[in-house]
Structure 1
Amino acid sequence: MQSADLTRLSTFVAVAERGSFARAAGALGRTTSTVSHAIKSLEDDLQLRLLNRTTRSVTLTEAGERLLTRVRPILADLGDALGSLDEFRDEPRGRVRLSVSSLGLGIVVARILPGFAKAYPDVALEAVVDNETGELTEGREDAGIRGLSLIPQDMITLRVSPPARQLAVAAPEYLRRCGTPRTPADLAAHNCIQLRLGASSGAYKWEFLQDGQRVELPVTGTLATDSMDMVMQAALDGVGIAYTNELHARRHLDAGRLRIVLEPYAPTFDGWHLYYPSRRNMTGPLRALAEYLRRPEVQDLIAGRASGRAAA
């Protein structure tokens, strides 16, 4: 197999997984025309159509599905084999591909990236937002960041945030205009900003403590989005009540831009965790990230005992 074949196959996998030439090009750091040419070259050599193309979507043909099923684990094993050589380098280099929910994305940026970038300048963190599932796709993600309840039980986990409350919050202006709910049932009369977890999962369920038990409450409102940033901005703009983690809302609460509502009913979330498969051939960059997170000073930062300092 020539190096050009590996390039074309990895390009095919990128397009198939993302359903888009443009998104695959962005992930690979290439132009869309280069990606399109690689796929056409592969199809011409195989004399088979692998992808169905329309102006709106790219889907796999039956031949494409079979090729993806066979090739993806091979490329993943090859990546692991090459990554296993990192231990012979003085410093690891490469990238760690993370699957992160939109709720956990801020944890990567605020609590992991600054210190890790200083400690390992040759390792890049590539975070892809995925609200659908906690499953990792072989050959696509090295690790993920989610709450424990969404992490498969056979994964190795490392804490990346402290436990924190799940809060309903709203801007003072909204509460003056629409009133303050006193019980979770009062939310039926309010505009609730919903976070969507994906096309197949629907909206994020709001949880509250009632009589010592966690209760999921369906809410309604005029805005639903898969972006946590948009949820927070809408709450700050007085659109309605948002449901978020205290870690995301703390700076706005401290500044008085948001207020907690239904605080006596707020449940505690166990926090976000990095998780990855217990594979023997762990890549050097992923090993570096795991070792970094195990440092005592980093665990102090994660627990909030070193707030404001990035561990290096």
Structure 2
Amino acid sequence: MKENLHDLQAFMIVAQERSFTRAAAKLGTSQSAISQTLRNLEERIGIKLLSRTTRSVSPTEAGEYLLNMIQPALEDIEHGINQISALRKNPTGTLRINADEYAIQSFLWSAIEKIIKKYPEISIEITSDYGLIDIVDGRFDAGIRRGGLVSKDMIAVRISDGISMLAVATPEYLNQKGRPKHPTDLIEHDCVNLRLPTHGALFRWQFTKNNKTQSVKIDAKIVFTTLSPVLQAVRSGVGIAYLPIDMVQAYIENGELEEILKDWRHSYEPYHLYYPHRREQAPLLNILINALKEKL
């Protein structure tokens, strides 16, 4: 069994990397040792698992079947060993988190800062992504998204209040181009918007008044895939942007930006940290959840 687990792990890494060289580097061994390990495994089970050429390596049909069977199990074993270290007095291990840029800046970082000061042997890996990825397939411990975007098969923990969105521009731009009175007036203005990677569509701006919400499709003059350059662009005076209140409040207070359509201000649902059911009791994850709850 011990020999099988070792060889299966090597097979999984080679199949994922599609390269003996990269797999050897990842496992800290030589290319020839990896190659011999895979030959031994194939001889032992009596079937070819990898197709090899001088330029590439890829799983055979049997190899793909085996990879799909063993990958979740081996990753769960690795995750379990990593997580159980958190039961020590000085927990160690790595937490891998997927979150969008705004959540990292507004909610996650202050919790992470607290964790790394209190538990210096814990490592944190954060991937900034506005796409709706599969965190299990991506081998993340948890993700952070607005509540309505979290899959129903995940456990979700609220980590923020509702997110108020403001339409803003510089006074200079508004003095020159005029101040919209209604959300549909935005169609005639220069706007800066966000393109969402999951579907490739532009972010639709929503406005609410008297409990009625109106969605506006913005034909943006400038488009980004993250919010920070949107803020930078609107501060330069090129048009109107739609941003979370905590990103623009200071600039409104000092007069650099001006909120428009104040009577139509819309709030999105709170952000949640979410994770798979099988990781419900993971100690490292509990450390993160507790730090986020303290901030809330």
TM-score bracket for this pair, using the shorter chain length: 0.7 to 0.9
- 180 and 282 in structure 1: CA distance in 2 versus 1, 3 angstrom threshold: same
- 69 and 102 in structure 1: CA distance in 2 versus 1, 3 angstrom threshold: farther
Q: How far off its partner does 1:10 sit?
A: 4.1
Q: Which piece of structure 1 moves more, 199-208 or 177-186? A: 199-208
Alpha carbons 1:86, 1:283 under 8 Å: kept: no
Q: How far off its partner does 1:280 sit?
A: 5.2
1:9 lines up with 2:8 in the alignment: no
Q: Which amino acid in 2 is paired with 1:160?
A: I
Q: Which amino acid in 1 is paired with 2:170?
A: A
- 76 and 265 in structure 1: CA distance in 2 versus 1, 3 angstrom threshold: same
Secondary structure at the aligned position of 2:275 is classed as: strand
Deviations 1:215-271 (A, max 9, x none): 221001222121111111111111221111112222333333222111111112232
Q: How far off its partner does 1:9 sit?
A: 2.9
Alpha carbons 1:50, 1:64 under 8 Å: kept: no
Secondary structure at the aligned position of 1:173 is classed as: helix
Q: How far off its partner does 1:142 sit?
A: 0.8
- 88 and 209 in structure 1: CA distance in 2 versus 1, 3 angstrom threshold: closer
| Structure 2 unaligned regions, length at least 5 | 40-47
The separation in 2 between residues aligned to 1:42 and 1:178, in whole angstroms, is: 70
Alpha carbons 2:49, 2:59 under 8 Å: kept: no
Paired residues for 1:140-219 under 5 Å: 140-198=139-197, 200-219=199-218
Alpha carbons 2:10, 2:38 under 8 Å: kept: no
- Counterpart in 1 of 2:115? 116
- 245 and 200 in structure 1: CA distance in 2 versus 1, 3 angstrom threshold: same
Deviations 1:272-294 (A, max 9, x none): 12111222574332121123334
Deviations 1:110-137 (A, max 9, x none): 4322223222222232221222216422
Secondary structure at the aligned position of 2:50 is classed as: coil
- 86 and 226 in structure 1: CA distance in 2 versus 1, 3 angstrom threshold: same
Q: Which amino acid in 2 is paired with 1:238?
A: G
Deviations 1:58-111 (A, max 9, x none): x99977765653343123211233135225411221121111123323124543
- Counterpart in 1 of 2:72? 73
Secondary structure at the aligned position of 1:193 is classed as: strand
Aligned length, in residue pairs: 280
Find 2:50's aligned residue among 37, 48, 51: 48
- Counterpart in 2 of 1:254? 253
Q: Which amino acid in 2 is paired with 1:192?
A: C
The separation in 2 between residues aligned to 1:74 and 1:218, in whole angstroms, is: 45
The separation in 2 between residues aligned to 1:289 and 1:213, in whole angstroms, is: 37
- 120 and 84 in structure 1: CA distance in 2 versus 1, 3 angstrom threshold: closer
- Counterpart in 1 of 2:263? 264
| Structure 1 unaligned regions, length at least 5 | 303-312
TM-score (normalised: structure 1): 0.74
The separation in 2 between residues aligned to 1:147 and 1:50, in whole angstroms, is: 44
Alpha carbons 1:155, 1:276 under 8 Å: kept: yes
Q: How far off its partner does 1:44 sit?
A: 7.8
- 197 and 42 in structure 1: CA distance in 2 versus 1, 3 angstrom threshold: farther
Moved over 4 A (4+): 2-5, 40-47, 59-68
The separation in 2 between residues aligned to 1:199 and 1:164, in whole angstroms, is: 21
1:275 lines up with 2:277 in the alignment: no
- 202 and 62 in structure 1: CA distance in 2 versus 1, 3 angstrom threshold: farther
Larger Rg: 2
RMSD across aligned positions (CA): 3.7
Q: Which amino acid in 2 is paired with 1:150?
A: L
- 181 and 285 in structure 1: CA distance in 2 versus 1, 3 angstrom threshold: same
Deviations 1:13-40 (A, max 9, x none): 4x58xxxx9xxx9xx9x989x99x69x9
